[in-house]
């Protein structure tokens, strides 16, 4: 059965509308009544201002005497508006001098100017003296070292650091920290262990371009549930992951080997690879890596795969390589529609015997995806006959280009999904700028025809 915004027949796009209630000013009302927001308690006004960049919040002080000091007791300071033509250190010092809140919830600092380095220690110390809970530091200057007092806090709950950390000689102590993001850090395995040892209740860890960290052993951290690793094509990053307690894994942007040594408690995984080289991809190596990873993901309930991953899966399928079965119940595919992903998708669906929900995000060809001619060249080297390498299912989309997706082709793609799954209860399709308005409006009627053949399957279409 097809859903229309959750009710009725026929699939359609989910649209959101904003509606404003306009009231007419009654005769005799004074103009002062319009400024009713100024009569709100300070706590509410400060809560509102905490959602604004600090420089905007400060500007409200010129509205009236009532607003002059409201911003100075907001629970948040966002000093991430610094540009080469922006405020210098003395301006920030004046802001901090006027700040009166005793408790700070959020502090965000971005300081990449050489002139700011003499002040950064004071700014960090200021935030920590207010028992800040959520802190974000971006200090990419190579000649700056975060002060030692930064590594001792019982108030920090969430921390994001874009900086090459130089750890102190004593132990790190972030006893309340639950979420940690490290970016562009050159930490070794020993340094990472030192940090994690000081975070006894850590629940989420994100590593972005941490190139020196090759072996990531998280076996001692029983509370850690989420691990996000974003690697660089040119740099190794973690190549061995030992994380028996995590429930969610996101691994992206690498064609380099990554061995999932132990992810036995995993419930959700998002895996993709990137392609950023003028040379032909080492497809055989990629297939070996991917198949080893898939074996570790057989028990996972929720899986998300990107286009390159599906393309490599297609190459393995065309070579007759055995692909494991899965217990996945919720599967998401981020891809464009083409013959280069269809065989891989078909095999993935056929090997997912417990699948209940399928989400397909259809987009245009994106930067970082494997070029079509590289795939053709690889298949030529495998001595596969050009007339026989693609089955009938793939040939339906053989001449499909990313700028010419038609409603019938989308319907054919969805029909293929239905045919290859026996347990599916819901299918969601999201479109990212790959359909014209007229084409999208044609889809609900066509999909309704498909739904008649699968009355137990709910279909939802969204244009994002």
Six-digit token string for 242: 């030992």
User: At 173, is the pLDDT very low, low, confident or very high (cuts 50, 70, 90)?
Assistant: very high
Task: Report CA-CA distances (Å) from 127 to 146, 176, 281, 406.
Answer: 14, 16, 48, 54
Locate 459 and state its tokens: 């279909």
- Helix intervals (H) in 60-218: 89-98, 117-129, 189-197
Confidence check: pLDDT of 14 > 60: no
Least confident of 15-29, 217-231, 297-311: 15-29
Q: Worst-scoring range by mean pLDDT, 88-92, 126-130, 167-171?
A: 88-92
Angle, alpha carbons 21-23-25 (nearest 5°): 165
Q: What is the pLDDT of residue 226?
A: 97
Token digits for 34?
């319009």
Which of these, 54, 106, 49, 100, lies nearest to 76 by C-alpha position? 106
d(C-alpha 297, C-alpha 63), whole Å: 57
Of all residues in the chain, the percent with pLDDT exceeding 90 is 28
Q: pLDDT class for 393, splitting at 50, 70, 90?
A: low
Q: Which of 179-188, 275-284, 329-338 has the lowest mean pLDDT?
A: 275-284
Q: Using 50, 70 and 90 to split pLDDT, how confident is the model at 71? A: confident
Looking at residue 185, what is its pLDDT? 81
Mean pLDDT highest for which of 43-52, 129-138, 306-315?
Answer: 129-138
Mean pLDDT computed over 312-327:
87
Mean pLDDT of 443-461: 67
What would the mean pLDDT of 59-67 be, rounded to a whole number? 80
Residue 88 token pair: 């210098």
Identify which has the larger pLDDT, 232 or 230.
Answer: 230
357 — phi, psi (to 5°)?
A: -130, 130
Could you give the count of Cα atoms lying within 13 Å of 324 in the half-sphere of its Cβ?
Answer: 16
Query: Which of 139-148, 156-165, 435-444 has maximum average pLDDT?
Result: 156-165
- pLDDT value for 10: 36
Res 186 pLDDT > 60: yes
The answer, yes or no, to whether residue 399 has pLDDT greater than 60, is no
For the residues 273-287, what does the mean pLDDT come to?
Answer: 63
Residue 24's contacts (CB-CB under 8 Å, 6 or more residues apart) are none
Is the separation of the CB atoms in 183 and 205 below 8 Å?
no
Q: Rounded to 5 degrees, what angle do the CA atoms 315, 321, 323 make?
A: 95
Which range has highest mean pLDDT (21-30, 83-92, 346-355)? 346-355
pLDDT at 13 over 50: no
In this structure, of 9-23, 152-166, 168-182, the range with the lowest mean pLDDT score is 9-23
- Does pLDDT of 12 surpass 50? no
In tens, the pLDDT along 332-386 reads 999 888 888 888 899 999 999 999 999 988 877 666 677 777 777 777 777 766 5
**Taking residues 228-242, what's their average pLDDT?**
77
Task: Report pLDDT for 18.
Answer: 33
- What whole-number distance in Å separates Cα of residue 120 and Cα of residue 139? 9
Residue 408 above 50 pLDDT?
yes
Among the listed ranges 14-23, 114-123, 371-380, which one has the minimum average pLDDT value? 14-23
Contact 237/213 with Cβ under 8 angstroms? yes
- Lowest mean pLDDT, pick from 201-215, 297-311, 359-373, 418-432: 359-373
**Structural tokens at position 440:** 């999208």
The top-scoring range by mean pLDDT among 129-138, 382-391, 438-447 is 129-138
375 DSSP β-pair partners: none
Please work out, in degrees rounded to the nearest 5, the angle formed at the alpha carbon of residue 132 by the alpha carbons of 130 and 133.
Answer: 155
Token pair 């990472």 in the structure block, residue: 192
| CATH node for 297-464 | 3.80.10
Residue with more model confidence, 152 or 44: 152
Contact status, residue 177 vs residue 149, Cβ threshold 8 Å: no
Cα–Cα separations (whole angstroms), residue 327 to 79, 265, 331, 388, 431: 46, 14, 10, 31, 27
Nearest Cα neighbor of 225 from 196, 194, 199, 249 is: 249
Share the mean pLDDT of the chain: 78
Please report, for the chain, the start and end positions of each structural domain, with discontinuous segments joined by +: 297-464
For residue 265, name the pLDDT band (cuts at 50, 70, 90): very high
| Least confident stretch, 7-21, 101-115, 218-232, 445-459 | 7-21
Per-residue model confidence (pLDDT) at position 462: 74
Closest by CA position to 315, among listed 294, 340, 297, 278:
340
Which range of 234-238, 294-298, 390-394 scores highest in mean pLDDT? It is: 294-298
CA dihedral 441, 446, 449, 455 (to 10 degrees): -70
CA dihedral sign of residues 241, 196, 185, 181: positive
Provide the 10 A C-beta neighbour count for residue 381.
11
Q: What does 40-58 look like in DSSP terms, one character per residue?
A: S-HHHHHHHHTTS-HHHHH
Give the pLDDT of residue 358.
93
pLDDT above 70: residue 68: yes
């Amino acid at each position: 059965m097809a859903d229309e915004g959750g009710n009725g027949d026929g699939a359609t796009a989910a649209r959101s509308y904003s509606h404003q209630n306009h009231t007419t000013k009654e005769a005799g009302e004074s103009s002062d009544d319009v400024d009713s927001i100024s009569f709100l308690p300070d706590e509410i006004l400060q809560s509102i201002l905490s959602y604004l960049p600090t420089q905007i919040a400060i500007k409200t002080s010129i509205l009236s005497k009532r607003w002059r000091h409201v911003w100075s007791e907001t629970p948040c300071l966002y000093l991430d508006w610094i540009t080469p033509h922006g405020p210098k250190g003395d301006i920030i010092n004046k802001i901090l001098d006027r700040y009166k809140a005793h408790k700070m919830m959020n502090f965000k600092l971005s300081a990449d100017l050489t002139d700011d380095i003499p002040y950064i220690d004071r700014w960090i110390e200021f935030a920590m003296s207010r028992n800040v809970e959520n802190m974000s530091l971006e200090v990419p200057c190579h000649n700056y070292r975060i002060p030692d007092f930064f590594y001792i806090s019982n108030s920090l709950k969430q921390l994001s650091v874009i900086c090459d950390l130089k750890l102190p000689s004593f132990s790190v102590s972030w006893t309340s920290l639950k979420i940690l993001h490290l970016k562009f850090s050159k930490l070794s395995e020993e340094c990472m262990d030192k940090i994690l040892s000081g975070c006894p209740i850590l629940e989420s860890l994100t590593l972005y371009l941490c190139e020196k960290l090759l072996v990531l052993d998280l076996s001692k951290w029983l509370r850690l549930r989420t691990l996000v690793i974003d690697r660089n094509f040119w740099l190794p990053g973690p190549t061995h992951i030992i994380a028996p307690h995590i429930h969610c894994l996101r691994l992206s942007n690498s064609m380099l080997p990554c061995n999932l040594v132990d992810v036995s408690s995993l419930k959700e995984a998002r895996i993709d690879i990137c392609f950023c080289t003028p040379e032909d991809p080492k497809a055989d190596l990629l297939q070996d890596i991917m198949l080893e990873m898939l074996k570790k993901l057989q028990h996972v309930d929720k899986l998300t795969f990107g286009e390159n991953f599906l393309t490599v899966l297609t190459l393995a399928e065309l070579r007759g390589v055995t692909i494991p079965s899965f217990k996945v119940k919720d599967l998401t595919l981020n891809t464009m529609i083409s013959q280069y992903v269809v065989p891989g998708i078909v095999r993935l669906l056929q090997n997912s015997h417990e699948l209940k929900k399928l989400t397909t995000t259809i987009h245009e060809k994106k930067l970082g995806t494997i070029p079509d001619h590289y795939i053709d060249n690889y298949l030529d080297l495998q001595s596969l006959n050009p007339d026989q390498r693609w089955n009938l299912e793939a040939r339906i989309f053989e001449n499909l280009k990313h700028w010419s997706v038609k409603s019938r082709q989308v319907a054919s793609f969805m029909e293929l999904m239905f045919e290859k799954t026996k347990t599916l209860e819901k299918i969601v399709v999201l479109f990212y700028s790959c359909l014209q308005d007229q084409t999208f409006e044609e889809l609900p009627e066509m999909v309704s025809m498909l739904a008649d053949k699968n009355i137990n399957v709910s279909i939802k279409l969204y244009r994002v």
